[in-house]
């Protein structure tokens, strides 16, 4: 099936809807008090899972586009990436507002005290850099550096599921499955990752 401009438009609309609807559902759940016994944990978990799903979808677009020979599919990557970043910001805001009650000064203490938060924070900082440089004009200005910077998303694909796995006390099966999915998404890019590592190995001693 060809992805015509018309179909691409509707696909983008569907993706926006897919990210917005769960947020409406969450707000509705808060309004009618339907988020279970611990709504704070529910909201933090909901936004955390949303971020992870968005991240995995972002990483799935390129292999899908190649496998299905649908080049225009790549044009949905920025949209999905920005939604992923938005969910990550909501996840942090939910933690700072509902758990820390806006005690921003406690954020640093908490992050240093709980290593899994350090991983989440590192992931969010990388996503922030990627979101800030996602504009086409910035991409053009950065040239080859842009791709190198955006390759950091592969590190987020490791940090995020480990952050999840580390945050749980029991029930390790689900987070382990997420970690496996992320590893599989990285495995699909093994040639690219190995090539980047090889180039760095060959050129690093000369540049230092």
Nearer to ligand HEM, 167 or 176 (CB): 167
Nearer to ligand HEM, 110 or 146 (CB): 110
Taking CB under 6 A as the rule, does residue 48 contact ligand HEM?
Answer: yes
Find the shortest distance in angstroms from Cβ 54 to ligand HEM. Answer: 8
Nearer to ligand HEM, 44 or 73 (CB): 44
Taking CB under 6 A as the rule, does residue 52 contact ligand HEM?
Answer: yes
Taking CB under 6 A as the rule, does residue 121 contact ligand HEM?
Answer: yes
Taking CB under 6 A as the rule, does residue 130 contact ligand HEM?
Answer: no
Nearer to ligand HEM, 14 or 172 (CB): 172
Per-residue 3-state assignment (H helix, E strand, C coil) for 61-123: HHHHHHHCCCHHHHHHHHHHHHHHHHHHHHHHHHHHHHHCCCCHHHHHHHHHHCHHHHHHHHH
Q: How far apart are CA 31 and CA 193, in angstroms?
A: 46
Cα dist from 56 to 73, 74, 204, whole Å: 15, 14, 31
Cα-only R_g, the chain: 19
The angle at the Cα of 127, spanning 22 to 153, to the nearest 5 degrees, equals 105
Taking CB under 6 A as the rule, does residue 90 contact ligand HEM?
Answer: no
Nearer to ligand HEM, 8 or 107 (CB): 107
* Count of C-beta atoms within a 10 Å radius of residue 73: 18
Find the shortest distance in angstroms from Cβ 134 to ligand HEM. Answer: 16
Instruction: Give me the residues that bind ligand HEM (CB under 6 A), please.
Output: 44-45, 48-49, 51-52, 55, 88, 91-92, 95, 111, 117, 120-121, 123-124, 127, 156, 160, 163-164, 167-168
């Amino acid at each position: 099936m060809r992805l015509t401009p018309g179909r691409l438009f509707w696909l983008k609309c569907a993706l926006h809807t897919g990210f917005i609807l769960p947020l409406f559902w969450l707000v509705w759940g808060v309004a009618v008090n339907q988020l279970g016994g611990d709504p704070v944990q529910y909201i933090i978990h909901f936004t955390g899972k949303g971020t992870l799903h968005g991240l995995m979808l972002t990483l799935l677009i390129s292999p899908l586009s190649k496998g299905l020979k649908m080049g225009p599919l790549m044009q949905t990557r920025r949209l999905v990436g920005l939604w992923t970043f938005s969910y990550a910001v909501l996840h942090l805001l939910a933690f700072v507002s509902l758990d820390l009650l806006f005690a921003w000064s406690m954020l640093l203490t908490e992050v240093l005290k709980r290593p899994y938060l350090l991983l989440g924070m590192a992931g969010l900082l990388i996503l922030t850099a990627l979101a800030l440089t996602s504009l086409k004009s910035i991409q053009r200005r950065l040239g080859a550096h842009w791709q190198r910077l955006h390759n950091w998303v592969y590190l987020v694909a490791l940090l995020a599921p480990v952050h999840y796995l580390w945050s749980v006390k029991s029930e390790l099966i689900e987070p382990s499955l997420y970690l496996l999915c992320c590893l599989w998404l990285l495995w699909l890019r093994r040639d690219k990752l190995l090539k980047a590592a090889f180039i760095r190995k060959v050129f690093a001693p000369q540049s230092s």
